[in-house]
């Protein structure tokens, strides 16, 4: 082995006085080699600071022990900022992957991009996790391609009808139902909803359904006038709240389809001299880190990103290993802080 070059298994073999094949087996603790040999080989390997070449190993064994995380960014969002909720997910997924002995390849995708992008990644990983506020409708075709190519993938998001592949999501309906229920229990009757009610984003649509359901059950009419579309950004929440205010619509509470929008909305209310929670109660969804630091601390629907990351990774690995996996929904929990007061 010339000095400076990376040692190969042949170098180890030579130094340990065995064949290269034996080195390979010994290093992976194969029961086919004697304990003695194994110890000998491993000690030489350590001494030479030898590391298996992953490319060669993966090529030969046709697997990568790598998971890919495809993060679909909101195309409208500011380039420099990532949705904090996904950031939290990312962190937890990374951890879960590591705990399961997998590497994690992270890649940002623009929804608008050439669908080949996903395949590209797929050749470098055994499976992939798709993360994004699921405008899955617009890339259903891509998913179909993936499924067709026998790719292993799991989607973070709601279970959408006819959607190929497996998914894991949060029970959005239940979450927003609980949040709305909370507002109703506080005596509110005129409750607005900020967040898209189009099929463009199934998450928000489902959250809207939870809201509707709660109101309906309580015998409160769902007033279309009190629902305003917005996408998942602070500025959108701000604008939506402005609109509500400008139109002079009457309401004492708002449920926002995400914390980011809630933050924007609260800002708008404050700027217009409305007290939160005094004049208007606000609930959010996601429980991003900022939610607890805000003024007032935001009452919101908590999603367990730790559990989600763990399950996403574990289910994907099952998929890779050929085991059956059920798509499922995680239960959210309402965390009550200070952004909601009783209707007076």
Give the interface with DNA as residue ranges (CB under 7 A): 6, 8-10, 17-22, 24-25, 27-28, 31-34, 36-37, 50, 52-53, 56-57, 59-62
Q: Return the residue matching tokens 């894991």.
A: 168
The β-bridge relationship of strands 153-156 and 127-131 is parallel
- Residue 18 binding result from DNA, its own copies, none, given CB thresholds of 5 to 8 Å by partner type: DNA
Measured CA to CA, the distance from residue 173 to residue 178 in angstroms comes to: 9
Residue 315 binding: pick among its own copies, DNA, none (C-beta 5-8 Å cut-off by kind)? none
The residues facing 70 across adjacent strands are 107, 130
125 vs 62, 71, 86, 96, 120, CA distance in Å? 10, 15, 21, 16, 9
Is the distance from CB of 189 to CB of 342 less than 8 angstroms?
A: no
Whole-angstrom distance, CA of residue 180 vs CA of residue 163: 29
Contact call for residue 235 and its own copies (CB under 8 A): no
Minimum distance from residue 65 beta carbon to DNA (Å): 10
> Considering the complex, what minimum distance in angstroms separates the CB of residue 324 from DNA?
24
Residue 10: name its binding partner from DNA, its own copies, none (Cβ under 5 to 8 Å by kind). Answer: DNA
The gap between the terminal CA atoms of the chain, to the nearest Å, is 82
Contact 104, 93 (CB under 8 A): yes
Which of 88, 179, 257, 340: binder of its own copies (CB under 8 A)? 88
> Is residue 87 a contact point for its own copies (CB under 8 A)?
yes
Between 21 and 336, CB nearer to DNA: 21
| Tokens 């400008």 -> residue | 246
Residue 289, binding choice from DNA, its own copies, none, Cβ under 5 to 8 Å by partner class: its own copies
Among 31, 35, 55, 141, binds its own copies (CB under 8 A): 55
Q: What dihedral angle (degrees, nearest 10) is formed by the CA atoms of 234, 185, 202, 151? A: 100
* Site of tokens 């763990």: 310
**Which of DNA, its own copies, none does residue 105 bind to, with CB < 5 to 8 Å depending on kind?**
its own copies
Note the residues at the interface with its own copies (CB under 8 A).
4, 49, 51-56, 58-59, 64, 66, 71, 79-82, 84, 87-88, 90-92, 94-95, 98, 103-108, 119-124, 145, 149-150, 263, 289-290, 293-296, 305-306
């Amino acid at each position: 082995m010339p000095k400076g070059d990376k040692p190969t298994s042949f170098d180890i073999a030579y130094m340990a006085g065995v064949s290269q094949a034996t080195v390979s087996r010994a290093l992976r603790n194969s029961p086919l080699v004697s304990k003695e040999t194994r110890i000998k080989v491993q000690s030489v390997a350590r001494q030479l600071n030898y590391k298996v070449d992953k490319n060669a190993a993966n090529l030969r064994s046709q697997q990568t022990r790598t998971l890919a995380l495809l993060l679909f960014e909101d195309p409208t969002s500011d380039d420099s900022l990532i949705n904090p909720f996904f950031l939290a997910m990312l962190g937890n997924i990374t951890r879960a992957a590591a705990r399961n002995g997998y590497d994690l390849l992270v890649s940002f995708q623009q929804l608008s991009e050439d669908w080949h992008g996903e395949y590209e990644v797929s050749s470098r990983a055994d499976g992939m996790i798709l993360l994004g506020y699921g405008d899955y409708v617009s890339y259903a075709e891509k998913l179909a391609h993936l499924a067709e190519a026998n790719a292993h993938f799991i989607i973070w998001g709601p279970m959408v009808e006819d959607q190929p592949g497996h998914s894991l999501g949060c029970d959005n309906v239940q979450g927003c139902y609980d949040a709305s229920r909370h507002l109703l229990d506080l005596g509110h009757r005129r409750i607005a909803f900020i967040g898209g009610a189009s099929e463009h984003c199934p998450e928000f649509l489902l959250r809207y359904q939870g809201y509707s359901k709660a109101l309906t059950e309580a015998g409160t009419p769902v007033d279309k006038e009190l629902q305003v579309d917005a996408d998942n950004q602070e500025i959108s929440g701000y604008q939506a709240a402005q609109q509500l205010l400008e139109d002079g619509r009457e309401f004492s509470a708002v449920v926002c389809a995400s914390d980011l929008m809630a933050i924007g909305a609260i800002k708008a209310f404050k700027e217009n001299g409305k007290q939160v929670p005094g004049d208007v109660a606000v609930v959010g969804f996601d429980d991003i880190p900022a939610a607890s630091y805000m003024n007032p601390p935001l009452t919101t629907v908590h999603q367990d990103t730790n559990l989600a990351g763990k399950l996403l990774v574990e289910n994907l690995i099952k998929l890779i290993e050929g085991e059956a996996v059920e798509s499922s929904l995680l239960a959210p929990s309402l965390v009550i802080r200070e952004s909601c007061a009783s209707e007076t």
